[in-house]
């Protein structure tokens, strides 16, 4: 949380003097992209928690979904110029039940340290979903109240949904039946 | 942030490791009356393999925690190894009581990335089938909910009525569950001849049976005693936990994606959203019972309004050629072969689609890298998220009521663990 995003009362701005680098549309300091009629915010790990808080104050009060994604070997991803592509992404789907609108936040997480602040203090419902993302991708959530495996066994090694985790590692042995 | 403070201060979730619990059990402190017990994972009332660790004081549940993962089969990983056409065979196995909804949300996601329009008839067939599926799923809930609370007769009646719907599904899709009927581009086959009479039959039989349920369950004092005021949750709590579907609606909050963010043709049919008042187990039961009636209204309108036309998109990229063409055209044969071996390619991008399943918001987050298989497929399972409300509902209640609460969440473990 070293860099603070644009202050909360600043709404959508483009080409503002605080942000001189480009003409990317922004919301709370994060780049906005609309694809397939869905609004997507791109952000990094430092701004993520404050962004979710600001969006929650804006009315996006329900964290409807949270999951990880691994972009290893996928070079077709389109990102705004202001965002540095990283291997992992944390995808958070938010819902505004008053205005019936949705918004998606995509957080870039570096492979070396996929660590991000938890949002369970804002959306308690994210607890199970963050645990699942930790199981499947090894994303770590700082300050999570219960960072234990949820779907995988406690002693499971590795993170199955990572692209470099191969499938079908357990060999099946066919044994002849005695006496035949 | 009062709602969150409230949730936190209740301290309803038992956050304790297995080793810690074991250590506590070995130390006998005569002043400490609390004990930790384990329910499940193989308990008749846990709807599959749900395990709940509970901290009890006498018969009162203090803290609890659902322990899940026993049915985890890595279906999201499997999805990355299947083509988009094979995808529905995989996702349909998640929520096995309402398989058509997972197929639907997956297909909608693929179609959004492909940017193809599906014919009106396909849309209406999907809606008809989904509403019938909602009925069968809620009937299953009524059966198991009754069974969990000791109304064993209800189990037989609920299953009997569900059978009527499943028989129709078998006729249309060839299977009673895991249909693989809704596919990207439309549905697998048109409705069979005489389907109207079959649906009409269901619509004629069910209303009087539902009235029998009202006599057997709704108005019955024992049933009310066991469900009213049990497992109460407020709107703020439900929204904070991300709970949707009957759980959110039982608190009096009329949130239904069919109305709030219409998909398919739900904006062209007339139906009511059923809401509760107290957010208790009884409200959740009554909502599901009455949602069957609302679904019947939609099905009735589908019978009248369903248009003629194609049952799948006429987009050669996605749809295999008609069977008759394969015999006469070499190109059609090649095309057919290509679609079923390589699969069709989907443009790069990512999309999130959501539908209102019988259990709440069922979403699909799909990432494509331009190939014939998804790069990432994530299902937002309503049961998985809804299960988080369990400790908050059970907190301060009796152990015997825990069964009623688990049942009223109506979790499908195949969907929770995926």
In this prediction, residue A13 carries a pLDDT of 41
Q: Which residues of B touch A76 (CB under 8 A)?
A: 348, 369-370
Of the ranges A172-176, B92-96, B380-384, which one carries the lowest mean pLDDT score?
A172-176
User: Which of these three, B40, B67, B94, is where a domain ends?
Assistant: B67
Domains in chain B, number: 2
Q: Which residues of B touch A91 (CB under 8 A)?
A: 350, 365, 378
A122 contacts B15? CB cut-off 8 A = no
User: Which of these three, B67, B98, B123, is where a domain ends?
Assistant: B67
Which domains, and CATH codes, for chain A?
26-124 (3.30.460.80)
- Same domain for B109 and B40, yes or no, is no
CB under 8 Å to B386, separation ≥6 — which residues?
B241, B243, B244, B245, B247, B359, B360, B409, B411
- Same domain for B379 and B259, yes or no, is yes
pLDDT for A15 beyond 50: no
Nearest-CA distance from A73 to chain B in Å?
9
- Same domain for B250 and B352, yes or no, is yes
B208 part of contact set with chain A, CB < 8 Å: no
pLDDT for A89 beyond 80: yes
Mean pLDDT across chain B: 87
Supply B229's token pair.
Answer: 């005021």
- Same domain for B60 and B146, yes or no, is no
Q: B46-58: per-residue pLDDT in tens?
A: 677 888 888 888 8
Domain-embedded: residue B118: yes
The answer to whether B140 and B165 are in contact (CB under 8 A) is no
Q: B379-396: per-residue pLDDT in tens?
A: 999 999 999 899 988 888
Pairwise CA distance, residues A30 & A20, whole Å: 14
B385 part of contact set with chain A, CB < 8 Å: yes
More confident residue, B2 or B412: B412
Domain CATH number, residue B234: 1.10.645.10
- Same domain for B351 and B218, yes or no, is yes
| Helix, strand, coil shares, percent, chain A, to 5 | 15, 25, 60
* E-state strands within chain A: 26-27, 30-35, 38-44, 62-70, 88-96, 101-109, 115-117, 140-142
Q: B70-89: per-residue pLDDT in tens?
A: 888 889 998 988 999 889 99
B239 contacts A64? CB cut-off 8 A = no
Pairwise CA distance, residues B380 & B414, whole Å: 13
- Strand, helix or coil at A27? strand
- Same domain for B97 and B21, yes or no, is no
Pairwise CA distance, residues B337 & B73, whole Å: 30
Domain-embedded: residue B9: yes
Query: Which residue in chain A is spatially nearest to B6 when comparing CA positions?
Result: A124
Residue-range definition of the domain harbouring residue B61: 2-67
Query: Which residue in chain B is spatially nearest to A144 when comparing CA positions?
Result: B15
In this prediction, residue A38 carries a pLDDT of 86
For the segment B350-359, the average pLDDT, to the nearest whole number, is 92
A36 contacts B351? CB cut-off 8 A = yes
Dihedral sign for Cα B58, B62, B63, B69, please. Answer: positive
Nearest-CA distance from B152 to chain A in Å?
32
CB pairs under 8 A between A and B: 112
B388 contacts A64? CB cut-off 8 A = no
List C-alpha distances in Å: A44 to A38, A117, B147, B251, B397.
20, 11, 50, 36, 43
For the segment B324-333, the average pLDDT, to the nearest whole number, is 84
Instruction: Please determine, for the modelled complex, whether the ipTM score is greater than 0.90.
Output: no
pLDDT for B139 beyond 90: yes
Q: Which residues of A touch B17 (CB under 8 A)?
A: 148
Domain-embedded: residue B104: yes
User: Which of these three, B67, B88, B122, is where a domain ends?
Assistant: B67
Domain-embedded: residue B338: no
For the segment B200-210, the average pLDDT, to the nearest whole number, is 91
């Amino acid at each position: 949380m070293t860099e603070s995003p644009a202050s909360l009362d600043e709404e959508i701005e483009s080409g503002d003097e605080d942000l001189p680098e480009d003409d990317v549309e922004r919301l709370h300091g994060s780049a906005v992209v609309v694809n397939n009629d869905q609004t997507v915010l791109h952000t990094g790990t430092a701004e993520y928690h404050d962004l979710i808080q600001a969006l929650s104050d804006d009315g996006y009060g329900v964290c409807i979904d949270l999951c990880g994604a691994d972009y290893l070997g996928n070079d077709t991803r389109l990102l705004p110029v202001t965002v540095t592509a990283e291997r992992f992404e944390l995808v958070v789907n938010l819902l505004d039940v008053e205005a019936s609108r949705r918004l998606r936040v995509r957080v870039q997480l570096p492979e070396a340290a996929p660590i991000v602040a938890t949002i369970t203090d804002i959306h308690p419902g994210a607890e199970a979903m963050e645990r699942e993302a930790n199981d499947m991708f090894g994303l770590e959530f700082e300050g999570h109240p219960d960072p234990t495996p949820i779907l995988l066994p406690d002693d499971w090694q590795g993170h199955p949904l990572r692209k470099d985790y191969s499938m079908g590692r357990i060999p099946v042995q066919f044994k002849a039946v005695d006496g035949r | 942030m009062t709602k969150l403070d409230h949730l936190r201060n209740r301290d309803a979730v038992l956050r304790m490791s297995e080793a810690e619990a074991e250590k506590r059990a070995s130390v006998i402190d005569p002043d400490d009356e609390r004990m930790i017990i384990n329910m499940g994972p193989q308990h008749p009332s846990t709807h599959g393999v749900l395990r709940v660790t509970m901290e009890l004081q006498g018969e009162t549940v203090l803290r609890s925690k659902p322990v899940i993962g026993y049915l985890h089969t890595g279906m999201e990983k499997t999805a990355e190894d299947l083509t988009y056409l094979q995808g529905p065979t995989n996702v349909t196995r998640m929520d096995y009581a309402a398989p058509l909804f997972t197929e639907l949300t997956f297909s909608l996601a693929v179609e959004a990335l492909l940017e193809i329009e599906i014919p009106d008839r396909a849309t209406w067939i999907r809606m008809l089938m989904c509403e019938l599926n909602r009925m069968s799923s809620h009937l299953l809930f009524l059966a198991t909910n009754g069974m969990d609370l000791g109304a064993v007769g209800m189990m037989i009646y609920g299953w009997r009525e569900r059978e009527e719907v499943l028989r129709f599904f078998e006729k249309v899709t060839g299977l009673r569950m895991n249909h693989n009927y809704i596919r990207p581009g439309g549905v697998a086959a048109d409705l069979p001849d005489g389907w109207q009479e079959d649906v009409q039959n269901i619509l004629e039989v069910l209303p009087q049976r539902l009235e029998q349920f009202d006599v057997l369950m709704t108005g019955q004092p024992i049933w009310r005693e066991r469900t009213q005021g049990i497992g109460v949750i407020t709107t703020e709590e439900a929204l904070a936990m991300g709970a949707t579907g009957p759980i959110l609606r039982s608190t009096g909050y009329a949130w239904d994606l069919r109305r709030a963010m219409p998909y398919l043709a739900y904006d062209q049919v007339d139906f009511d959203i059923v809401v509760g008042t107290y957010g208790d187990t009884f409200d959740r039961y009554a909502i599901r019972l009455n949602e069957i009636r609302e679904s019947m209204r939609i099905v009735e309108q589908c019978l009248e309004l369903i248009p003629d036309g194609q049952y799948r998109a006429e987009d050669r990229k996605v749809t295999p050629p008609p069977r008759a063409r394969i015999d006469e055209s070499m190109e059609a044969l090649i095309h057919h072969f290509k679609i079923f071996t390589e699969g069709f390619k989907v443009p790069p991008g990512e999309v999130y689609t959501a539908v209102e399943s019988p259990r709440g918001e069922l979403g699909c987050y799909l990432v494509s890298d331009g190939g014939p298989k998804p790069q990432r497929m994530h299902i937002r399972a309503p049961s998985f998220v809804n299960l988080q409300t369990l400790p908050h509902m059970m907190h301060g209640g009796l152990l015997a009521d825990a069964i009623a609460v688990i049942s009223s969440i109506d979790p499908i473990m195949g969907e929770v663990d995926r």
